[in-house]
Amino acid sequence: MPNKEEASMSGKKLVVSLVAVAALVGAVPSMAADATPETYKAEVEPICKVNTEANEKILKGVRAKVKSGQLDAAAKQFRAAAKALKKARAELLQVPKPPADATRLTKWLGYVKTEVQLFETVATKLAKDEETSAQKMVVRLISTAKQANNQVLDYEFRYCRLQPSKFL
């Protein structure tokens, strides 16, 4: 059985541990408050770079496949691109936004979500041999990308600029 001194020491260790945990938990919101446009850009650009490079591989030759009537193969490519963008968006959502730009960045991420949905819709239309409808969705995809990019012009993104016309 521990004596009073040992019990007191273990109690102090417990209190110190709890204080340390509370300090760490308290620090998490302040880290988000410390986010700046520069730190945000530094964190999101690598995520977008991975997605851009993936899309270059995924969507390679998709235009030619559509033109030659290989719509099922093109549909698979669009579905894969949607999946990659959805994954990137999930990662982007985890990055703390600078408080001053939180509304604008949330809107930008909303456009990214719309892009995912449009990629999925294009895939569905192509799989159903609805080439004209798929082309209309591609036009919406490009328009949505322009709207998204306008939200974040100040960030001067290199990889986080949505450029579906580069691939399609």
Q: Are residues 26 and 64 in the same domain?
A: no
User: Which pLDDT score is estimated for 48?
Assistant: 96
d(CA 63, CA 115): 18
Residues 116 and 71 in one domain: yes
Alpha helices, DSSP H, located in 34-101: 37-58, 62-67, 71-93
Amino acid at 108: W
Gap between the Cα atoms of 15 and 125, Å rounded: 61
Cβ atoms of 164 and 146 closer than 8 Å: no
Residues 101 and 126 in one domain: yes
How many domains does the chain fold into? 2
Of 77, 83, 85, the C-alpha closest to 126 is: 77
Amino acid at position 31, single letter:
M
Same domain, 13 and 65: no
Sign of the CA dihedral with 60 first, then 63, 67, and 69 last: positive
Which residues form the domain of 7?
A: 1-34
Length of the chain: 168
Q: Are residues 119 and 148 in the same domain?
A: yes
Mean pLDDT rounded to a whole number for the chain:
85
Identify whether residues 9 and 91 lie together within a single domain.
no
| pLDDT value of position 2 | 55
Which single residue is written with the structure tokens 């030659």? Answer: 68
- The verdict on 141 and 86 lying in the same domain is yes
Q: Are residues 160 and 85 in the same domain?
A: yes
Judgement on whether residues 75 and 142 belong to the same structural domain of the protein: yes
pTM, whole model, 2 decimals?
Answer: 0.77
Any idea which residue has 């093109």 for tokens?
74
- Count CA atoms within 13 Å of residue 121 on its CB side: 16
Verify that 59 and 77 share a domain, yes or no: yes
Angle between helices 102-127 and 131-151 (to 10 degrees): 170
Specify whether 12 is located in the same domain as 82.
no
Q: 144 and 79 in one domain?
A: yes
For the segment 5-46, what is each residue's pLDDT rounded down to a tens digit?
Answer: 555 544 444 433 433 333 333 434 444 458 999 999 999 999
pLDDT attached to residue 8: 52
pLDDT tens digits, residue range 71-116?
999 999 999 999 999 999 999 999 999 999 999 999 999 999 999 9
